[in-house]
Structure 1
Amino acid sequence: MADDPLRWETLDTDIDYTCPGFDVRRDDVRLPDGTETDYHYVDESPAVVILPLTADGDVVVIEEWRQAVSRVNRGLPAGSMEGEEEPSDAAHRELREETGYEADRIEHLLTAEPSNGIANSVHHHFVAYDCEPTADQQLDDNESIRVDTVGYDDYLDSVVNDDLNDGRSALTLLQYELTQRD
């Protein structure tokens, strides 16, 4: 990688802006042709995305207000990892906090960089099996979430019918459909 002719050299890095959930980082870089410039991107913690399946095969979904697009978004539970937390532990925690459901078992599905042109985000996607409601939600101060269940095929149809706008959720569902579903 160090010898790749496309590689940019990072000369300096600094945080330009900090807010809850992410920072905006500025890197001073030298491009392959020798040009020096700066590059800004979102710097955020790794996250998890969970496809929660009930024992009868329904999907536990959330409806959450998303300020950036000014609407309620229907998707899968997801959230940032905390400290040195393992991805699977974060998946169990986020599922419980956002939905009040717990899974009998959780399995890793894929890891992806969802927007590596503008962010250093890494998302670990999981499938949670035999999910059951066990407790009340434990939402963060800035979360407004409703929980629902939907039939798996109906949820899959929402991708095809352009009704599922959340890219993380669509990726998780399609990866599961292509690689895991019996």
Structure 2
Amino acid sequence: MTDTTAPWREIERTTVFSKFGRSVDQVDFEMPDGRKEQFYLKCERPAGAVLALTPDRHVILARQYRPGPERVLHELPGGFIEPGEQAAAAIARELLEETGYQGTITEIGSYWHDAYSTVRRFAFLATDCVRVTEPTPERTEFIDVVTLPLAEFRDRVLRQGAMTDAAAAYLALDHLQLL
């Protein structure tokens, strides 16, 4: 009997497109039953997002236009982890660059972006965040830094699907026992 959950054997991989740290790879696999199938996988460096809270428990968000959904979203600060960089250091850097805030960073966990992606996402919590400088976003980032009371964040942003890193937000809220 064929083990239907056995790992597939990769036969060939070709990068179809690559830009801004992202690529799409065409991958040919041999399936558990011997058939050959072709898939397209989204490939990126590891990345993270942080649920950042001020001392009065307001959530710090990067409000910005996102080209995939084609709309302005309230996003958790975050981004790519550079080669050789520790995930917590990357999140502290991204929080400071995107919002100008610093706080105490705690790694909560990690998760897969989706089933057709190689992206591993890391979830963080930052507490007691205070603004220490002006944001210094990258050239492709146009961000309005906003803060929302925790209840408003949960009701208006998270539960209504108005963000992309909901898994990181839920992991952080679960860690705080606020779900």
Give your verdict on TM over 0.5.
yes
* Aligned mate of 1:173, from 149, 157, 169: 169
**Cα distance in structure 1, aligned partners of 2:133 and 2:90:** 17
Aligned residue number for residue 127 of structure 1: 125
Aligned Cα RMSD in Å? 1.8
How much has 1:160 moved relative to structure 2? 6.6
Change (3 A) 1:10 1:160: closer
Deviation string, structure 1 residues 111-145 (Cα, Å, up to 9, x no partner): 00021x22111110100111111111111111111
Change (3 A) 1:6 1:74: same
**Cα distance in structure 2, aligned partners of 1:161 and 1:13:** 38
Aligned residue number for residue 99 of structure 1: 99
1:178 alignment partner, SS class: helix
Aligned positions of 1:12-27 closer than 5 A: 12-27=12-27
What is the TM-score of this pair, normalised by structure 1?
0.89
**Cα distance in structure 2, aligned partners of 1:110 and 1:39:** 28
Q: Decide whether the 8 Å contact of 1:23 with 1:42 is kept in 2.
A: yes
**Cα distance in structure 2, aligned partners of 1:17 and 1:176:** 34
2:68 alignment partner, SS class: helix
Deviation string, structure 1 residues 135-163 (Cα, Å, up to 9, x no partner): 1111111111110111011111225751x
1:177 alignment partner, SS class: helix
Instruction: Name which of structure 1's ranges 87-96 and 74-83 shifts more when overlaid on structure 2.
Output: 74-83
Number of equivalences = 176
Task: For 1:139, give the aligned amino acid.
Answer: P
Task: For 2:106, give the aligned amino acid.
Answer: E
Aligned residue number for residue 108 of structure 2: 109
Segments of structure 1 that go 5 or more residues without pairing to the other structure are none
Q: Decide whether the 8 Å contact of 2:48 with 2:124 is kept in 1.
A: yes
Q: Decide whether the 8 Å contact of 1:49 with 1:76 is kept in 2.
A: yes
Q: Decide whether the 8 Å contact of 1:111 with 1:123 is kept in 2.
A: yes
Q: Decide whether the 8 Å contact of 1:156 with 1:173 is kept in 2.
A: no
Segments of structure 2 that go 5 or more residues without pairing to the other structure are none
**Cα distance in structure 2, aligned partners of 1:24 and 1:140:** 23
Change (3 A) 1:159 1:114: same
Change (3 A) 1:56 1:95: same
Task: For 1:107, give the aligned amino acid.
Answer: T
**Cα distance in structure 1, aligned partners of 2:78 and 2:116:** 20
1:83 alignment partner, SS class: coil
Deviation string, structure 1 residues 48-80 (Cα, Å, up to 9, x no partner): 100111111111111011112221111211201
Percent identical pairs in the alignment equals 26
